[in-house]
Structure 1
Amino acid sequence: MTDTLPTLHSLAEALRQNRASSASLTEAALARALDPAGEGRRVFTELYGAPARAAAQTSDLLRASGQPRSPIEGLPISVKDLFDVAGSVTRAGSAVLSDAAPASANAVAVQRLLAAGAVIVGRTNMTEFAYSGLGINPHYGTPRNPWDRATGRIPGGSSSGAAVSVSDGMAVAAIGSDTGGSVRIPAALCGLTGFKPTARRVPLEGTLPLSAQLDSLGPIAASVSCCAVLDAILAGEPVPSLTPFPLRGLRLALPATLVLDGVDQQVAAAFASARARLQAAGALVDEVEIPEFSTAATINAKGGFTAAEAYAWHRKLIAERAASYDPRVISRIRRGQEISAADLLDLFAARKQWIAAVEQRVAGYDAMLMPTVPIVAPPIAALEASDEAYFAANGMILRNPALINFLDGCALSLPCHAAGEAPVGLMLAGVAGQDRKILEIGLAVEALLRNN
């Protein structure tokens, strides 16, 4: 699916050769967002029409004078509704904050994008307060997945609007957050590429939190190289010159614990095909027992860092405005009320031991390999109608990605399905600090899977 979308590189080249202008790209993105027959009204909680057009004009002038600021100069990019943008209200997909004061300054991530010449076209819809992997939002509507739009399937969350803004050409790339998979899940379900960096690499200042221990900020885009460029800009690092990692001799650990449980037929077939192609290209894929993966749910049984930290942040708002919350979100936040200081200290200690044990099991491997999400995107209506179906799907969809957040690792999701079939994501994951290596492995795997 993503091979039909323009990349940052292809558009930057079109701008360089005067085959396009930032103004024309921005107008096209805004037109798609405003199309009444499209998903724009569910994708964006706020569009920045006038500021985006002004930024595009500035970009065109800078490019004409030979002064582009970065590889993303003049390209339309969306930001999730939990990033502060000066002068805008940060609603985080909620009605609870609709009358909050506008932000007085940009989030660090937004400021870095603007300094690099990005044209911010709007704020994207999301699961309320980022607390679900499904992308369903009762306040602003749920953007429909680009696959099987007639049925109306979930886009994945919590960065739901982010993914659909890219799949539908309303932005060239999107910036989201990932606490338990919220960048990788919508990327996987919508046939896009998403990158979750090692959390500490991208500052969280100016971003409405879910869990300070687990939150990380990353891109959703058309390719691995797009994600690498945006990741570097967000991290305040020079844009790297990446070299695809050699596939021959690449050592991949496929966890034999948990990550393949309950995989549906379409995901199983796409993943098996990708695995076979990797092995045919000379990669070594070893099934590795990681029993710690089966204990993660027990360690986090009371709701983990997310419930504890979300409740600490929300408790005053809940006391005043509980009725305005999505009931399926507030029920999860309230679990944090029962977590004691002793529970939290136990959780910190257990996580430290858990990370050390997992890192030891995958030492000697270049990356872990698994399906990003074990099922294809289910219909929105079925999940809206049933709490049981909603929470069952949410747990299943979050399961694999959330392991990497708890590991404090980094991970890339890239499409591995055949053209025309339901989108399926392949996840390549590493331990903390292996970001560049994961991206270079991703470049090689992407080229292999796209070479039909």
Structure 2
Amino acid sequence: MTTATSMTRALAAGDTTSAQLAAAAIDRARQPESTAVLLALTADRARYQAEAADRRRARGAARGDLDGIPIAWKDVFDIQGTVTTAGSASHLHDAPAAVDSHLVRRAHDSGLITLGKTNLSEFAFSGLGVNRYFGTPINPVAPERVPGGSSSGSAVAVARGIVPLAVGTDTSGSVRVPAAYCGIIGYRATPGRYGPNDFAPLSATLDSIGLFATTVDDIIALDRVLAPGEHDDPPRSRRFVIPAGEWTEDLTPEIAADFQAVIAEMRCAETDIRIRSIPSLDTAQKLMDSHGTIVGAEAHRLHRHRLDSTLPIEPATRRRLEDNAHTADSLAPVYAAMRALCADFAAELDGATLLCPTVRHAPPRLSELSDPAHYDNLNASTLRTTMALSYLGACGITLPIRASASRPPSGLLLSRPSGHDAELLAHAAAIGPQRRILTYP
């Protein structure tokens, strides 16, 4: 039982109990190989919630399909009685949260069992998933490589089988990237799909919430819990567009081979796939290359006071904040063009789903990160594709692809315009079970 769906079936059949599922999750979270995955293990809460779920099920009053299923939360969400660190030692002495974030409460009201809070890149401000203070979660499919970030702990918690579901945040790629690097599924919802953000922010303009699982069915099930009433009928047509240019040409040979293999599989199934330029995407990237990024400017505005503080921050975080000290001064054209480019992006896709690799290279080896300049270049290249799509307001889901077991996994990224989440999830569900090239741990 590694998926939420299989756990739900087992609960319904009486083959297990929520208490047993919670106990197994707690045990896996405490294993040595799970070191640095969770920053707070809420074991007592999980046991209490699991026992309550079993009592509800015994009297035929389950709250929904996911009642009694364990879940973990990125440590930017408040969970009552725990300190919200945002992955930074500078928050260690903050007061514990008095109440849960609204999304945590919504999950609890649906019967999900909160196992704890997961590790992340400091302040959610990196795509590599490295945390020097709390430790870097070990990528279970490529232990010598980074897990991806910023939602590293949430991705690893699912990839390692600690929990079947986890929640993260995605500003520039912080769900899609670690999912691709860890060989699982990561979904970035349209910003606001789950209501107003009440987690520790990075960029108010671009922050969104994302979900991790190992099957699309599990993503859809959790999305239905967290976004009730947001579900339309699936689309009748399934058309795909591959963007011409750097999005599919600036790839390492291994990533190119994985992408070409999955596209060939889809074409053999007579899927409608076309290659053409997407001007809005190209323009978005040129704007950011020329003027800087919104996330860089807004992260600096939020955290600049830390540069002169005695509270600890990591060297890589300090470098990124310092590098963006004057980004806001040149960013007006990026903000000004955003709304029109989002509309152009939707018009150019014309009902199709965008297909491209999630990241253009394999997860970097941890041994490559000793040089600060190389570290920063790898971080930027890791986020280049997903950051541009975030700027265009896209929702996106990455599916794992691996043409050869001898190399790390990569991701197939499906993206749709803002608000087209139902179509996106339907397209992902149609692709996932039918493609031999898609692999899961």
Smaller-chain TM-score bracket: over 0.9
State the secondary structure of the residue aligned to 1:442: helix
State the secondary structure of the residue aligned to 2:246: coil
Q: Output the CA distance in 2 between the equivalents of 1:104 and 1:267.
A: 45
Counterpart for residue 360 of structure 2: 374
Counterpart for residue 267 of structure 2: 279
Alignment of structure 1 residues 167-182 onto 2, 5 Å? 167-182=159-174
**Counterpart residue identity of residue 255, structure 1:** P
2:89 corresponds to 1:92: no
**Counterpart residue identity of residue 297, structure 2:** A
Residue of structure 1 aligned with 2:204, choices 209, 212, 231: 212
Counterpart for residue 298 of structure 2: 309
Q: Output the CA distance in 2 between the equivalents of 1:448 and 1:30.
A: 34
Q: Output the CA distance in 2 between the equivalents of 1:124 and 1:228.
A: 22
Alignment of structure 1 residues 333-344 onto 2, 5 Å? 333-340=321-328, 343-344=330-331
Q: CA deviation at 1:157?
A: 0.5
Q: Encode CA deviations 1:385-427: one digit per residue, 9 max, x unaligned.
A: 1112212221221111112211111111111224734211111
Counterpart for residue 296 of structure 1: 284
Q: Output the CA distance in 2 between the equivalents of 1:232 and 1:407.
A: 24
Counterpart for residue 125 of structure 1: 119
User: Residues 398 and 412 of structure 2 are in contact (CA less than 8 Å); yes or no, is this contact kept in structure 1?
Assistant: yes
2:54 corresponds to 1:60: yes
What stretches of structure 2 of length at least 5 have no aligned partner?
A: none
Q: Output the CA distance in 1 between the equivalents of 2:107 and 2:175.
A: 18
Q: CA deviation at 1:216?
A: 0.6
Q: CA 1:361–1:58 in structure 2 vs 1: closer, same or farther (change >3 Å)?
A: same
Residue of structure 2 aligned with 1:252, choices 240, 248, 260: 240
Pairs aligned (count): 436
Q: CA 1:303–1:131 in structure 2 vs 1: closer, same or farther (change >3 Å)?
A: farther
Q: CA deviation at 1:339?
A: 4.0
Q: TM-score scaled by structure 1?
A: 0.91
2:393 corresponds to 1:408: yes
User: Residues 292 and 331 of structure 2 are in contact (CA less than 8 Å); yes or no, is this contact kept in structure 1?
Assistant: no
Counterpart for residue 191 of structure 2: 199
User: Residues 307 and 334 of structure 1 are in contact (CA less than 8 Å); yes or no, is this contact kept in structure 2?
Assistant: no
Q: Output the CA distance in 2 between the equivalents of 1:312 and 1:69.
A: 42
Q: Output the CA distance in 1 between the equivalents of 2:403 and 2:4.
A: 23
2:419 corresponds to 1:433: yes
Q: CA deviation at 1:361?
A: 2.2
Q: Output the CA distance in 1 between the equivalents of 2:245 and 2:310.
A: 42
Q: CA deviation at 1:430?
A: 0.5
Q: CA deviation at 1:447?
A: 1.4
Alignment of structure 1 residues 8-157 onto 2, 5 Å? 8-36=4-32, 38=33, 40-149=34-143, 152-157=144-149
**Counterpart residue identity of residue 78, structure 2:** D
Residue of structure 2 aligned with 1:187, choices 172, 176, 179: 179
Residue of structure 2 aligned with 1:389, choices 359, 374, 378: 374
**Counterpart residue identity of residue 303, structure 2:** H
What stretches of structure 1 of length at least 5 have no aligned partner?
A: none
Q: CA deviation at 1:27?
A: 1.0
- Please identify, of 354-363 and 205-214, the stretch whose mean Cα deviation from structure 2 is larger: 354-363
Counterpart for residue 327 of structure 1: 315
Q: Output the CA distance in 2 between the equivalents of 1:145 and 1:397.
A: 16
Residue of structure 2 aligned with 1:356, choices 343, 360, 381: 343
User: Residues 250 and 282 of structure 1 are in contact (CA less than 8 Å); yes or no, is this contact kept in structure 2?
Assistant: no
Q: CA deviation at 1:344?
A: 4.8
State the secondary structure of the residue aligned to 2:240: strand
**Counterpart residue identity of residue 210, structure 2:** G
Q: Output the CA distance in 1 between the equivalents of 2:285 and 2:39.
A: 33
Q: Output the CA distance in 1 between the equivalents of 2:228 and 2:98.
A: 22
Q: Output the CA distance in 2 between the equivalents of 1:18 and 1:108.
A: 31
Q: CA deviation at 1:242?
A: 6.9
Q: CA deviation at 1:204?
A: 4.3
State the secondary structure of the residue aligned to 1:200: coil
State the secondary structure of the residue aligned to 1:198: coil
State the secondary structure of the residue aligned to 1:337: coil
Q: Output the CA distance in 1 between the equivalents of 2:417 and 2:392.
A: 7
**Counterpart residue identity of residue 281, structure 2:** F
2:252 corresponds to 1:261: no
- Please identify, of 313-322 and 164-173, the stretch whose mean Cα deviation from structure 2 is larger: 313-322
Q: CA deviation at 1:35?
A: 1.3
Q: RMSD across aligned C-alpha pairs, in angstroms?
A: 2.0
Percentage identity across paired residues of the two chains: 34
Q: Output the CA distance in 1 between the equivalents of 2:103 and 2:390.
A: 20
Q: Encode CA deviations 1:100-154: one digit per residue, 9 max, x unaligned.
A: 11122211211111111111111100000011111011011111211232xx211
- Please identify, of 229-238 and 97-106, the stretch whose mean Cα deviation from structure 2 is larger: 229-238
Q: Output the CA distance in 2 between the equivalents of 1:131 and 1:333.
A: 9
State the secondary structure of the residue aligned to 2:116: strand
Q: Output the CA distance in 2 between the equivalents of 1:397 and 1:261.
A: 15
User: Residues 163 and 190 of structure 1 are in contact (CA less than 8 Å); yes or no, is this contact kept in structure 2?
Assistant: yes
